[in-house]
Amino acid sequence: MKNKISTTFLLGVAICMFQPAFSGNGETKNNSNKPPQPFQFAEGVTMRDYEANTIVLKLKPEYRNLAQKNSINIAKLTGILSEIGAQDLHKIFPNHTAPDSRTPTDEMGHKFADITLIYKLNFTKGIAIEKAINQIIATGLVEYAEPYYIYHTFGEATTVEDVKNTLAAFNVNDPSLGQQYFIKKIKCPEAWGVNTTTARGDTNVVIGIVDTGTDLDHPDLKTKIKYNYNDPINGIDDDHDGYIDNFRGWDVSDNDNNPNVDNTTNIHGSHVSGCAAAATNNGVGVASPGFNCKFLPIKAAKKTTTGQIDNGFEAIVYGADHGCSVLNNSYGGPGAGQFGQDIITYAAINKKVLVVASAGNDNKDIVNYPAAYDYVLSIGATDQNDNKSSFSTFTNSVDVCAPGTAIYSTVYPKTYQLMDGTSMAGPITAGAAGIVKSFFPTYTGMQVGEQLRVTADDIYGVGSNKSYKDRLGTGRINLFRALTETTSPSVKMDPLKVTDGNDESFAIGDTLIIKGSLLNYLAATKNLTATLSTTNTDVTILNATINGGVINTMSKFDVDNTNGFKVLIKPSASLNEKILFKVSFADGSYSDRQYFTVIVNVDYINIDINDVSCTNTSRGRIGYNTTNLSEGGLGFNYNDTSSLVYEAGLMIGTSSTKVSDNLRSSSTASDTDFKSVQAVKRRIPTVKSDFETFGVFNDSGASSKIGVEVKHNTYAWTSAGDRKYIIYEYIIKNTSGSALTNLYAGLMVDWDVTALTSGNNKVGADVNNKLGYAYATTGSKLYGGVRVLTNGPFLNYGIDNVTGGAGGFDATTNFTTAEKYTALSTNRLTAGGTTPTGNDIMNVVSTGPFTISSNDTVKVAFAILAGDDLADLIKSSNNAQTKYDKVVTAISDVKLVNGFLLKQNYPNPVNAANTIIEFNLPAKAQAELSIYNTVGQKVMTVLNSQLNAGDHQVNLDVSNFNNGLYFYELTTGNNKAVMKMVIQK
């Protein structure tokens, strides 16, 4: 099974998506000192995948004493809830208690889930659900806020002809057994014949069926329901569990005690019930793998829907609380959030339940949820010949397969039918799991799942299955082997952590360390080895093997910086490259595997050391790496708010036909003029501030190129008075071959300053302080702004981002090149309409015009700021100006000696195989460039040549240099200039 950590984890600026095996810890990073990530929908999610105008949130535990059943007594949060029109706020699980803080984890180190602070609400204001969610996140009071996801079933009727089989081993007398090939395929008769008691199931082992309901009167089902004799149907909650008359299960969606399917169009759950637990050897109808195990019907579909699971997670909690050892979930979809993971963790870790879920019927290499959550046994489907079913999803997160094609089982009303789907493979596996739990009663749910997984039959040699290698799990389940083969271990690396031991940017030249723990769930290992591999040639594995040796049952072996895997990122790695790794486990005849992905050479860096946090990218965008939220970035946050900006970045223009940027051009598209030359890196050690980045891009992607190359730097400080801004500096070089005139450079920002809608902002300007700003007219009424720090004119163009433009140009559908140049080169000091509440706004803060000779440069710098009010914003902007004047510009990046210029190499520190050194000679001269170590020894003569006057560039190969401090020296005659260079590969 897989610890399918399918949500995205940010490690510094690198993203790691772990897909190790089922037995993972599921623990996400939760650093309360960092702003929460803004919400965004995952790829593939549509409106059918979540409940309209509905939000689920989890309050941070430090506010527990303010959390009531139907209210949260925190003014900051209730104010936001009021503004979005929140209704019916309520705890989803009001009768539960939080885990004991003295024992926060299970025996394997998995953290228990706290579901006591999870609320659900509806909102009535006509705003996008993303806006409403991000306003709740912006309070800093919640662990998460997200849509309430709904799912759809993975099964449908089939017209495949009946598949006959003959029976061996323990013979049962169900007359339709000949139509159930899967019973023999997974070796049920042989398993049932192992002994006469527990191998046929324990009636105290209950399989929960979370689905569209069941057929309470079906002759093959009604005797198998786990009846609650402590609460007979009498109108009283006799067992005091909060549910009146839940004698034969519960309908979670309609909140009543009738879990029967509603009609003949919604029979899915009745078929699934029989796949897992139809009465066996009763002389009626069909058999099931679960034999004597009981099942608990938990209906999670409203009467008004067909094939839609509305309340699956509440149903999972109900089943976990009401004695289920196994919970089957034959449904799913692309929607994923921390709420779902919390519920799975509660069932699997807190309650030791095996959660089984169908992988999906997409016939694609994709993930569906809940199957892809941590601690879920994900099930793919096969046919009667062990081929992958034509419809079955296949992916590295699938744990195991089971028959899912042409499955004959019970359906409402009191009849039988063939159906196809991973919806059928799931409950067949769940029924088998019930037998394993009966046979090994001390096993936890995860051990039951692992036992099925490690004893599955390898089917990769069947038909075309080899083309799905490792994406059908360990094979097709074999119940007989699961009961009789007990010598295999089952080892997973969990947790699995990736670090570079430094800035966590996973850059070219970095050595990654992969560490964590090797957990063993089953029989003790004797001489375990774990080996790391990849087919990707852009990394070199330096340490490929971990020797785990002997790891006892339910024990672990720690992997640290010393004995962990080590991987070098090579210069050939492309930007944002996903490296798929495989960990192979071996111990005698035991072998297993686990996959995870690391994204390396990321072309953006998050800056989050003070009260504002922001992202610098390699292509001139600020806040987000691509169009709002889609590929990483913090936005621009202040004091743990969600982002105050929707989109931001640099624009450079010389005319109404030539503006270069990577910002929106229309409501659905963006310009891609800037291309990275040197991906943004963090400078370590810093030279001028507490956090620095640098990089280079040009406008080679523009259809009408200006011809510029831009070196960019960012600076941030932690000192008092300097915590509310980040400085962005651009050195713009003219590479066009001729002089550039009328050049303006500025930052465009689409502000959403804590407004519930984009219609609650205004733009203003403080010309004396060269500050353009925006502020919210509702809610917290914060301010955000941009100040020009370099010499030159200040311009601020406010844009009313509304139809018609409110007196300016209309950028709502098309933001044209001419409009961009207008915004760069002219003033419109205010925006936001004439009403007190304002509207959706943007502004462009710029400076210019400049004339730049060929190969010459101009430097422009801006501070992007946030504040509690305008006075606070102005104060911080003045502090930024002081820092820039007295620190940034006072520490030179160049050495000027008697007319010749030696520049700071880049990148510096050097974390790649090469670095660039530039210098300028005022006249033709014999020039020598040499490298020295810290004790004055010459390491290399880079060049010693007669050179012409002008700019020169040297690409220095440092691949053979050791890490450390060096000096490079340029001499011409009696003139000498020296600068420092740090190599940190």
Percent of the chain, pLDDT > 70? 93
pLDDT class for 25, splitting at 50, 70, 90? very low
Instruction: Of 367-381, 565-579, 751-765, give the lowest mean pLDDT range.
Output: 751-765
**If 0-12 CB within 10 Å is exposed, 13-18 middle and 19+ buried, where does residue 631 land?**
middle
Q: Which two tokens stand for residue 753?
A: 């300053």
Q: Is the pLDDT of residue 29 over 80?
A: no
The predicted-structure confidence for 109-166, as pLDDT tens digits, reads as follows 999 999 999 999 999 988 889 888 888 887 889 999 999 999 999 987 765 444 444 3
Name the more confident of 67 and 899: 67
Where do the DSSP E strands lie in 176-319? 206-211, 250-251, 294-299, 308-309
Q: What single letter denotes the amino acid at residue 746?
A: G
Residue 2 confidence (pLDDT): 47
Instruction: Of 158-172, 203-217, 452-466, give the lowest mean pLDDT range.
Output: 158-172
Residue 37 confidence (pLDDT): 60
> What's the pTM?
0.82
User: What is d(CA 731, CA 709) in angstroms, rounded to the nearest whole number?
Assistant: 8
Residue 12 confidence (pLDDT): 30
Q: What mean pLDDT, rounded, does the chain reach?
A: 90
User: What is d(CA 812, CA 835) in angstroms, rounded to the nearest whole number?
Assistant: 20
Asked if 512 and 598 touch (Cβ cutoff 8 Å), the reply is: yes
Q: Is the pLDDT of residue 227 over 80?
A: yes
Calculate the alpha carbon distances from 16 to 23, 496, 559, 602 in Å: 18, 10, 18, 11
Please state, as a whole number, how many other Cβ atoms lie within 10 Å of the Cβ of residue 203. 12
Phi-psi region of 109 (alpha: psi -120 to 50; beta: other; left: phi over 0): left
Q: Which two tokens stand for residue 37?
A: 């990530």
pLDDT class for 799, splitting at 50, 70, 90? very high
Q: Is the pLDDT of residue 698 over 90?
A: yes
SS3 of 125-140: the string is CCCCHHHHHHHHHCCC
Instruction: Of 1-15, 64-78, 568-582, give the lowest mean pLDDT range.
Output: 1-15
In this structure, what are the phi and psi dihedrals at residue 185, rounded to the nearest 5 degrees?
-60, -40
Average confidence (pLDDT) over 263-285 = 96
Residues ≥6 apart with Cβ < 8 Å to 598:
14, 16, 498, 506, 512, 578, 579, 581
Average confidence (pLDDT) over 47-56 = 95
Q: Which two tokens stand for residue 2?
A: 């897989």
Instruction: Of 542-556, 617-631, 932-946, give the lowest mean pLDDT range.
Output: 617-631
Q: Is the pLDDT of residue 545 over 90?
A: yes
Strand partners for 421: none
Name the more confident of 748 and 503: 748
DSSP string, 415-430: EEEEEESHHHHHHHHH
Longest alpha-carbon distance in the chain: 106
Instruction: Of 143-157, 383-397, 727-741, 968-982, give the lowest mean pLDDT range.
Output: 968-982
3-state secondary structure of 274: helix
Helix ranges (H only) for 558-678 are none
The predicted-structure confidence for 626-650, as pLDDT tens digits, reads as follows 754 445 678 898 986 678 888 999 9
DSSP 93: S
Active site residues: 211, 268, 423
For the ranges 632-646, 716-730, 775-789, the one whose mean pLDDT is highest: 716-730
The predicted-structure confidence for 917-947, as pLDDT tens digits, reads as follows 998 888 899 999 999 987 778 899 999 999 9
Average confidence (pLDDT) over 25-31 = 31
User: What is d(CA 571, CA 553) in angstroms, rounded to the nearest whole number?
Assistant: 42
Residue 756 confidence (pLDDT): 60
Q: What is the bridge-based pairing of β-strands 604-607 and 612-617?
A: antiparallel
Residues ≥6 apart with Cβ < 8 Å to 307:
152, 153, 212, 266, 268, 301
pLDDT class for 80, splitting at 50, 70, 90? confident
Q: Is the pLDDT of residue 13 over 60?
A: no
Q: Is the pLDDT of residue 678 over 70?
A: yes
3-state secondary structure of 534: coil
Q: What is the CA radius of gyration of the chain?
A: 32
Q: What is the bridge-based pairing of β-strands 415-420 and 250-251?
A: unpaired
Q: How far is CA 286 from the centre of its chain?
A: 43
The predicted-structure confidence for 434-463, as pLDDT tens digits, reads as follows 999 999 999 999 999 999 999 999 999 999
The predicted-structure confidence for 579-589, as pLDDT tens digits, reads as follows 999 999 999 99
Residue 834 confidence (pLDDT): 80
Percent of the chain, pLDDT > 90? 74
Name the more confident of 269 and 906: 269
